[in-house]
Amino acid sequence: MSHAQQSLAQWRIEQRQYQQQIGNFIVTQHLQHHLGGGRILDVGERRIKIKHPRGVVYTIEQKKQSLVSVTQNGGNFVLMNQVQQVTFKRLSHACFQMFFIHQKGQRDVQEVHI
């Protein structure tokens, strides 16, 4: 492989990682906006339950290598592709962390304040 091909391959990897981090950040911003004022009811390693101020309980969990949040009525809320694993850690009654591991092995942490 030539130096130019190696440079291009490395650039593509870096761009993919950058896009994944942007995707994670967008999910975080969306959750903070949508769930603002809510409180965390329950946290498991693979899922978290949050009660919205209007009474709806949201469960955020990983399904089929994507991050999917399912409302009480079963509607999809957020879908994030290319996530191999996501785990949750509670920091306070209104703050938690999401740890992402992507299919290419990249790791990312996002803190969500609701």
Categorize the per-residue pLDDT at 90 as very low, low, confident or very high, splitting at 50, 70 and 90. Answer: very high
pLDDT value at position 106? 80
User: Range of 95's domain?
Assistant: 3-113
Number of domains in the chain: 1
Q: Are 96 and 48 in contact (CB under 8 A)?
A: yes
Categorize the per-residue pLDDT at 66 as very low, low, confident or very high, splitting at 50, 70 and 90. Answer: low
* Whole-number Å distance between alpha carbons of 88 and 72: 20
Q: 18 Cβ partners below 8 Å, 6+ apart?
A: none
H-helix or E-strand spanning residue 29: helix 3-34
Q: Which residue has the tokens 């942490």?
A: 109
* Whole-number Å distance between alpha carbons of 25 and 81: 13
Give per-residue pLDDT as tens, 27-61: 788 788 878 888 899 998 888 888 888 888 888 87
Please check the confidence at residue 65 and state whether its pLDDT lies above 70. no
H-helix or E-strand spanning residue 90: strand 83-92
